[in-house]
Amino acid sequence: MLKDILDKFYLDRQRDREQQHFYITDAGKCGRAIFFKFKNVPRAAMEPHILRMFDRGDYLQMQILNALFSTGVVRASEVVIPPQQLISGRADAIITLNNELYVVDFKSMNSMIFRTLEKAKEENINQLQLYLHYFKIPKGILLYINKDNLELKEFVIQYDPKLVKSLLEDLEVLKSKIDSNVVPDRLEDYPENWQCMYCQFKEICAMAGPKEVSWQDFKNKVESIKAINNGKAS
Ligand code: SF4
- Residues 153-207: pLDDT tens digits? 999 999 999 999 999 999 999 999 999 999 999 999 999 998 998 898 999 999 9
Mean pLDDT of 202-227: 88
Q: Which residues of 54-70 are buried (b: 16+ CB within 10 A; e: fewer)?
A: eeebeebbeebbeebee
Q: How confident is the model at residue 4 (pLDDT cuts 50, 70, 90)?
A: confident
Judge whether 162 lies within some domain: yes
Mean pLDDT of 132-160: 96
Q: Which atom of ligand 1 is nearest to the CA of 205?
A: 4
Look at residue 160 in the predicted model and tell me its pLDDT.
Answer: 98
Residue 97 belongs to domain with CATH number: 3.90.320.10
Judge whether 73 lies within some domain: yes
Q: Which atom of ligand 1 is nearest to the CA of 32?
A: 5
Judge whether 40 lies within some domain: yes
**Rg of the Cα atoms in the chain:** 20
pLDDT at 24 over 80: yes
Q: For residue 40, report the distance from its CA to the centre of ligand 1, in Å.
A: 15
Distance between CA 100 and CA 98 in Å, rounded? 6
How many contiguous H segments (helices) and E segments (strands) does the chain have?
Answer: 9, 9
pLDDT at 233 over 60: no
Closest CA to 86 of 212, 184, 14, 178: 178
Judge whether 232 lies within some domain: no
Q: For residue 88, report the distance from its CA to the centre of ligand 1, in Å.
A: 23
* Max CA distance (Å), the chain: 72
Tell me the pTM.
0.84
Q: Domain range spanning residue 103?
A: 2-224
Judge whether 58 lies within some domain: yes
Judge whether 230 lies within some domain: no
How many domains are there within the chain? 1
Look at residue 28 in the predicted model and tell me its pLDDT.
Answer: 87
Judge whether 28 lies within some domain: yes
Look at residue 198 in the predicted model and tell me its pLDDT.
Answer: 85
For ligand 1, atom 4: residue with the closest CA? 205
Handedness of CA 172, 176, 179, 181 (dihedral sign): negative
Judge whether 11 lies within some domain: yes
Q: For residue 3, report the distance from its CA to the centre of ligand 1, in Å.
A: 31
